[in-house]
Amino acid sequence: MNKQMIRGGLALLAVAGALAACSPQEMETPPVTVKTSQGPVTCQLYTHSQVYWDRSTDRPATMSVKDADNICRQEGYRVQRLGL
């Protein structure tokens, strides 16, 4: 292994360790509601610097959890992009 690969691996390990020490509940923002053609989706967004944990907490019965979670991640990206 070369030094650059080792440094990259150590940096990745440090980031993973820092995130593992964080609890999603500590980073929750107030829930938001996104209007869709199938009905409203309630989203729990977390920090505005990442969208990994963003998820739906309520969705129309006709919508899958996966689709609702994707809508919430898109809302997280929108908030992130606009700096809200």
In a domain, 18, yes or no: no
Q: Is the model's pTM score more than 0.85? A: no
In a domain, 3, yes or no: no
Counting as low any pLDDT under 50, the low residues of the chain are none
Q: How far apart are CA 65 and CA 72, in angstroms?
A: 10
Long-range contacts of 48-56 (CB under 8 A, 24+ apart): 48/76, 48/79, 48/80, 48/83, 48/84, 49/80, 50/80, 51/76, 51/77, 51/80, 53/24, 53/27
Tens digits of residue pLDDT in 14-35: 665 555 556 666 678 899 999 9
In a domain, 70, yes or no: yes
In a domain, 9, yes or no: no
Total domains present in the chain: 1
Query: Which residue range forms the structural domain that includes residue 68?
Result: 24-82
